[in-house]
Amino acid sequence: MKAIVAGSPGSEILLDPIATALSAEGWSISRFYGESLDCIAPTCWTDVEILVCYGLPCGPPQLQRAPMLLGIVSPTIGYEWIDEAAASSRGILVVNGAVPENQESMAEAAILLLLAALYDLPGAQAELRAQGRRRTPPRMLKGKTVGLLGYGNIAKAMITRLQGWGADLIVHRRGDTGTDERVHFVSLAALLERSDALILLASLNEDSRGIIDAAALDRMKKGAVLVNIARGGIVDEAALAGRLADGRLSMAALDVFETEPLPNGSPLRALSNAILTPHAIGHTVESFAAIPAAAIDNALALSRWEMPASARNRHIEKAWLGRRG
């Protein structure tokens, strides 16, 4: 098999072990690191069969150069840099790295941020260090209504971990409500209006982009907290900053932003009631250790014309298999 392993600068630590392992399987591997997929030598596109790609936009201009491409593998759970629709139209599978360790780490990290927001951890630190800010009175999780926007694997892992905390868990998901006796499924309006703490866990797509806008924030309880570990594009950051500044919301804990890294001029940076982390709060030793093995398994499955469990566009299976031979 001929494969390209390509990523943004700094992703070598993630991608090089994958490239090395596939080389050991007898694959022909070309590695490229740069600001875009233009860093790939033009001659490599003509016969590439598998593309392992991290952080570099991949859409029609790139795909049309690769007539032999069977699948694109993202080594992480995120894959928004890959144009799934464009890949599907060409019979190319898109596969992400949905390893259990990632989901579990992110669930733990979301709970960490939730508790840090409820207990105003930054305020407690500032008070001890005499930095001119008194701590907001801490609040227990027990007895609170925690709203989850999204019902994927991370949400389910959170729900499991929050059993026994004495919180009322409500969920809004796209499509049917589903069944889970541990939670109550509600409308988006009810989620906003009832949540003492709102946790954003939804994928970023055309339905979710900007869904937490000014109007949505104004429907939330006064003094509520918001935690976002999903994607920054789900939230209107300017509106959120305004609601934090005027006290409409008591605290936000954000690991993701519309533009990353968060610009120095962002009003969020000036707010003492905003906990900000650099899209890495759940990147544990355990999750990083699991990523290469999952990416390698996915690439090898594609080479055998087997559908990986984490294929995002498995609905094109018939068209994909039709390209075999």
DSSP state of 20: H
Residue of 25, 35, 260, 286 marked catalytic: 260
C-alpha 169/C-alpha 17 separation (Å) is 40
- The tokens for 204 are 């970023």
Residue of 135, 248, 279, 283 marked catalytic: 279
Q: What is the three-class DSSP state of 294? A: helix
Contact 111, 158 (CB under 8 A): yes
For residue 12, CA distances in Å to 62, 290, 297, 299 come to 21, 16, 19, 18
Q: Where are the beta strands (DSSP E) in the chain?
A: 2-7, 28-33, 50-54, 71-73, 93-95, 145-149, 168-172, 184-185, 197-200, 224-228, 249-254, 274-276
Q: Is 279 a catalytic residue?
A: yes
Residue 201's contacts (CB-CB under 8 Å, 6 or more residues apart) are 110, 148, 149, 150, 151, 152, 154, 155, 158, 229, 230
The values of phi and psi at residue 200, to 5°, are: -95, 120
Contact 37, 21 (CB under 8 A): no
The values of phi and psi at residue 237, to 5°, are: -65, -35
C-alpha 284/C-alpha 320 separation (Å) is 34
DSSP state of 49: -
Q: Is 231 a catalytic residue?
A: yes
Nearest of 123, 170, 124, 116 to residue 141 by alpha carbon: 116
Q: Is 315 a catalytic residue?
A: no
Residue of 231, 237, 243, 312 marked catalytic: 231
Q: Which residues are catalytically annotated?
A: 231, 260, 279
